[in-house]
Amino acid sequence: MMLEARARAALERGDLPAAAQAAQQLAMTQPQSPAGFFLLGMAAAEAGHVPRAIPMLEQAIARGGTAEHFAQYARLLILLHRDGEAGEAARQALVKGGADPLTLDTIGCVLARLGDHEGSILPFEGAVAGEPDNLGFRYNLAAACGFTARIDAARSHYEVILRANPGDSRVHYALTILSRQTMEANNIPRLEAALGNAKRPEDSLRIRYALAKSHEDMGNAADAFAYLSTANVAQKQALGYDFASDAAIFDAIEALFADGLPRGWRQGLDDPSPIFITGMPRTGTTLVDRILSSHPQVGSAGELQAMPVAVKQLAATPSRLVIDPPTITASASADPAAMGQAYMARASHHRPQGKARFIDKLPANFLYIGHILSALPQARIICLRRHPLDTIWSNYKNLFATQSSYYAYSYDLMDTARYYARFDRLMALWDRLYPGRVLQTSYEQLVADQEGQTRRLLDHCGLEWDAACLSFHENKAAVATPSAAQVRRPLNADAVARWKRYEDALAPARDWLLGQGIAVD
């Protein structure tokens, strides 16, 4: 067997020592060929040594690498948060041409991770055209179609997957959130059948969420809550979540800024381009992102991890968590200007071209407002507020990324109430420290007075009035959040006071919030 084929076969069966040995021989006997270096890098990456793999792939590319080599290099760069280089490598892979379906899918995945969902469509379509029966490739294409408002195409691809695999819970959930379910058009019988056949807890979780969303759309509040309650009890138990872990993060932030700015912090980076939209999830952050990014001077960069990663980088703590109490505490010794530079270096790779300003819409950035206004003193920050019980309900009913520690509180109503109370307290701290620097705006007020509140948002951001901001639903940019369907419709009051449908179930949270002095009328 040829050395390259032997190395690839060993990689395929997971025999990494044999793969590395064959790749090493290939690199030694054919030092001008890229194949040996590429396969050495892939063996290292598969063994978990991504930093060690990168130079090997760079050696392969320097020797005239193929589309596959560029695509895999891009994939590994993403894992190391080297987003700008990853995007360039992915586009080089497309330019190379001759890519096989797996390589095309890899390119699409890299572009999607970078927020370029429109750009991911072409490689995903190529992957599906090359291997029509590969359900993973088709799922990626379907998701990209959903993000880019190709709703009929997304639905068609999802249905193809379900015909081949009726129990695919990711697809059941994706189809359900693609559009509003009605009495005349819903998939409840199919979902119930899939739930009955589900073998894995994660499948039951997604299908129950899909059933809950369907029943809520159709006005069946009791059924919606019953499915959610069952799903969330099981998920909280599986995660082993304790609110004390989030409380400790809030405590660390409040301690860091207890006496104002940490001692020794100096002037940050002088850059007025970022606009941060923050707040509890599911409170209108995507809506405000669409309103502002409809302005000709503003583009949306999506939900960036750039500030959390910049703080982690400057804090230099060894934990694998991006945010934890030691990291917050250690950030006191960081240089705000260096923090701002680290942020802008990462964010720049996601900025839409030709726009003077850009939006970072990571809701959890409310935790970093002190860091942001020190690192980027000219940045504009908006925080979305929504009725406390609508906030709690909308968090409880939304299936966030199940492995993300940011949202672990959301599988329990009382944990979500506790999280809301700490959010509310932290926002009061930022108001005391930075009066007038954070515009706290109400979702309900925005719905009631669209133009007046839009003018207020633009004024806070230092932007001239533009009527296009009132037609945000015509914005063609991709949306990769659960709010995609809502923000493609004109502003409406459908989601205002929705909590009242679940008033009895929310009574314990309501009473607890009242005990904390938080108004819920």
What are 423-471's pLDDT values in tens digits? Answer: 999 999 999 999 999 999 999 999 999 999 999 999 999 999 999 999 8
Q: Which residues pair with 442 in a beta bridge?
A: 385
Rounded distance between C-alpha atoms, residue 130 and residue 67, angstroms: 15
Element of type H or E holding 406: none
Phi-psi region of 360 (alpha: psi -120 to 50; beta: other; left: phi over 0): beta
What proportion of the chain, given as a percentage, has pLDDT over 90? 85
> Apex CA 366: angle with CA 361 and CA 372, to 5°?
85
Q: Compute the average pLDDT of residues 128-146.
A: 97
Report if residue 145 sits inside a domain. Answer: no
Report if residue 400 sits inside a domain. Answer: yes
1 pLDDT exceeds 60? no
54 to 9, 70, 74, 80: CA distances (angstroms): 21, 11, 10, 10
- What pLDDT, on the 0 to 100 scale, is given for residue 319? 93
First-to-last alpha carbon distance for the chain, in angstroms, is: 75
What proportion of the chain, given as a percentage, has pLDDT over 70? 97
Report if residue 314 sits inside a domain. Answer: yes
Confidence category of residue 478, pLDDT binned at 50, 70, 90: low
- What pLDDT, on the 0 to 100 scale, is given for residue 503? 94
Three-state secondary structure string covering 415-434: HHHHHHHHHHHHHHHHHHHC
Cα 22 to the center of its chain, rounded Å = 39
Q: Domain tally for the chain?
A: 1
Handedness of CA 260, 263, 267, 271 (dihedral sign): negative
Strand order in the sheet with 380-385: 298-300, 357-360, 274-279, 380-385, 438-442
Rounded distance between C-alpha atoms, residue 141 and residue 146, angstroms: 9
Report if residue 372 sits inside a domain. Answer: yes
> What's the predicted TM-score (pTM) here?
0.90
The model's pLDDT over 229-271, given as tens digits with 9 standing for 90+, comes to 999 999 999 999 999 999 999 999 999 999 888 888 888 999 9
> What CATH number corresponds to the domain at position 319?
3.40.50.300
Nearest alpha carbon to residue 334 among 269, 250, 271, 275: 269
The model's pLDDT over 80-115, given as tens digits with 9 standing for 90+, comes to 988 889 999 999 999 998 899 999 999 999 999 998
Confidence category of residue 148, pLDDT binned at 50, 70, 90: very high
- What pLDDT, on the 0 to 100 scale, is given for residue 477? 63
Rounded distance between C-alpha atoms, residue 220 and residue 450, angstroms: 30
Cα 505 to the center of its chain, rounded Å = 29
Rounded distance between C-alpha atoms, residue 352 and residue 361, angstroms: 14
Phi-psi region of 242 (alpha: psi -120 to 50; beta: other; left: phi over 0): beta
Q: Compute the average pLDDT of residues 387-394.
A: 96
Rounded distance between C-alpha atoms, residue 19 and residue 35, angstroms: 12
479 pLDDT exceeds 80? no
- What pLDDT, on the 0 to 100 scale, is given for residue 374? 95
Mean pLDDT score of the chain? 93
Rounded distance between C-alpha atoms, residue 260 and residue 258, angstroms: 6
Amino acid making up residue 448: A
| Rg, C-alpha atoms of the chain | 24
- What pLDDT, on the 0 to 100 scale, is given for residue 70? 96
CB distance 130 to 104 below 8 Å = yes
Rounded distance between C-alpha atoms, residue 195 and residue 211, angstroms: 9
The model's pLDDT over 395-404, given as tens digits with 9 standing for 90+, comes to 999 998 877 7
Residues of the chain by 3-state class (helix, strand, coil), percent to 5: 65, 5, 30
Rounded distance between C-alpha atoms, residue 294 and residue 277, angstroms: 15
- Locus of tokens 């940011």: 406
Q: Is 497 helix (H, G, I), strand (E, B) or coil?
A: coil
- What pLDDT, on the 0 to 100 scale, is given for residue 349? 86
Rounded distance between C-alpha atoms, residue 334 and residue 312, angstroms: 10
Q: Is 57 helix (H, G, I), strand (E, B) or coil?
A: helix
Rounded distance between C-alpha atoms, residue 393 and residue 221, angstroms: 12
Tokens of 223: 């059924």
43 pLDDT exceeds 80? yes
Report if residue 90 sits inside a domain. Answer: no
Q: How many CA atoms lie within 13 A of 107 on its CB side?
A: 34
| CB neighbour burial string for 123-153, b if at least 16 within 10 angstroms, e if fewer | bbbbbbebbeeebebbbbbbbbbbbbbbeeb
Amino acid making up residue 141: L
Report if residue 328 sits inside a domain. Answer: yes
Nearest alpha carbon to residue 487 among 279, 301, 290: 290
Tokens of 45: 């990456």
Dihedrals φ, ψ of 384, to 5°? -80, 135
β-bridge pairing 438-442 and 380-385? parallel
Nearest alpha carbon to residue 351 among 207, 482, 440, 477: 477
Range(s) of the domain holding residue 354: 243-491
Report if residue 27 sits inside a domain. Answer: no
Query: How many other C-beta atoms lie within 10 A of the C-beta of residue 392?
Result: 29
β-bridge pairing 438-442 and 357-360? unpaired
Cα 111 to the center of its chain, rounded Å = 14
The model's pLDDT over 409-421, given as tens digits with 9 standing for 90+, comes to 999 999 999 999 9
Report if residue 514 sits inside a domain. Answer: no
184 pLDDT exceeds 60? yes
